[in-house]
Amino acid sequence: MEHVTLNTGVEMPVLGFGVYQVPPDQTEEAVTNALAAGYRSLDTAAAYQNEDAVGRAVQASGIARSDLFITTKLWIQDNGEATTSRAFETSLQNLGMDYVDLYLIHQPFGDVYGEWRVMEQLYNDGAARAIGVSNFMPDRLLDLILHNEVVPAVNQIETNPFYQRAVENQLMTERGVRHESWAPFAEGKHNLFSDPTLSDIGNVHGKSIAQVVLRWLIQRGVVVIPKSVRPERMAENFDVFDFELSPQEMASIADLDTGKSLFFDHRDPAAVARLGGVTLD
């Protein structure tokens, strides 16, 4: 496994396992299988409502907590200083852990500055070894950096061959924020799994399109957290460290960029209203 070093000095596996959209009743088995396949970085969130299943799988695995990298996230309804503290404690209880390796603001809405003040304290206290954000556009990310003491360690954003986020990547690189991808396979949109460019590159290396995409992200220095409930696909996604894409192949994939989200625009008022209306039980 390759690692990246966050701006806190903490090492993070460049490839992890995500549990977004994994039903809670399937999450424990999925995480158990992912750990057996070799994954040591797990990404969950309060909004996924499966933190407890992740925690059970970790505890049953027998793997030392210090050998794992656990990420979870704060949802919009818990914005503000008092509610952020309570939400973090709830996540720890659900996970059955006394610290997390990375705690993220899940969406750039609500009182993110109040949240960040609490998260800075969690970081200073060691309850979160690193703190960061998710879905922050460049202007929001830079504003947060300029008006706070702790620079986010990570910004987890939609990133895939059709939405490559070059501008965001440059800003994050300049500011010491690690770029992390969600939806690396674009959930199959734009016929990603039959794309001729990706297929041709895969044929050259004897790799699948999914493996090509993961390798492309890793070579860009982007942390990635693919999700699957199939053990054979977990193993396939993990097997991406024995080949390298050429500069020409990287350039060919760069040409696939549309510059547009395949899911939602965080600056669209309708999207903001929709996300802001989602509350957790």
- Active site (catalytic) residues: 48
- 208 phi and psi, to 5 degrees? -80, 165
Place of tokens 């008006």: 147
Cα separation, 86 vs 48, whole angstroms: 17
Report whether 69 contacts 16 (CB < 8 A). Answer: yes
CA 59 to chain CA mean position, Å: 22
